[in-house]
Amino acid sequence: MSVDILKRVMLFVVLCLAQAVVFNNIHLFHCATPLVYVYFVLTLQRRTPRWAALLWGFGMGMVMDMFSDTPGVATASMTLIGMIQPPLLEMFLPRNADDRIRAAANTLGWGKFMSLAFIIVNIYCVVFFTIETFTFADFSGWLTAVVCSTLLTLMVIVAFESVRK
């Protein structure tokens, strides 16, 4: 087994456990929950095949649905993120970039990384909370949950990137 695959599996396990044990219990102002497992798909390598990104996203979403009691919500949202991450990453990379480059602050720079992270996390939160509520009757509550969870998730991702090599 490749060292890269082993690192990805370890990150998968660590993010799942962190989300299930710690972050699922954080509800700031009863509307903001950090959804840090999005970081897993955000940091896939440049030439990760689309089928692999979809499988990683589906697997992460399925595990998070089991831990979070959100049947199918995280799975659908993470599968969508797995589908759109490779073309979005290409938009932020120079043409002559290495094929094994990952989305990270030290490879893209903080500005590009935060732009990419914002787009991916925001799309994830919009889809996640739309499927979860399945109505726009409480539009202000939905919008508050999307905005606050996006910002809180981005703050946690910045903390991860600051301590990661």
Q: Per residue of the chain (165 residues), give pLDDT as tens.
A: 588 889 989 999 999 999 999 998 988 888 889 999 999 999 998 888 889 999 999 999 999 999 988 899 999 999 999 999 999 998 998 888 887 788 888 888 899 999 999 999 999 999 999 999 887 788 999 999 999 999 999 999 999 999 986
At residue 165, the pLDDT reads 63
Backbone φ and ψ for 83, nearest 5 degrees, come out as -75, -35
Cβ-in-10-Å burial (0-12, 13-18, 19+) of 119 comes to: middle
Cβ atoms of 105 and 51 within 8 Å: the answer is: no
Q: How many alpha carbons fall within 13 Å on the CB side of residue 10? A: 7
- pLDDT reported for residue 31: 85
